[in-house]
Amino acid sequence: LNATTRRDAKGNITGVVGVGQDITELNQVMAESKRVADDLTRLIETANAPIFGIDVQGNVSEWNAKASSLLGYSKVEAMGK
């Protein structure tokens, strides 16, 4: 909600103008996006295959539990290297 005063030619307040927007749908979409992101994170972490990500600089940006067990480096050790 956004509101501002409405004034006459002399600057006297004559009322208030308000604008509001229903963000229910936006909140629903954001909640669904978070649910999907959480599901994908859980999938990556519990996969029975090593999964790792590399950013454009060549640094590790993702490292799952299977990568840790097979390669011997914890996620903390691998991230950013």
Over the chain, what HEC string results? Answer: CEEEEEECCCCCEEEEEEECCCCHHHHHHHHHHHHHHHHHHHHHHHCCCCCEEECCCCCEEEECHHHHHHHCCCHHHHCCC
pTM above 0.75, yes or no: no
Tens of pLDDT, residues 33-63: 999 999 999 999 999 999 999 999 999 999 9
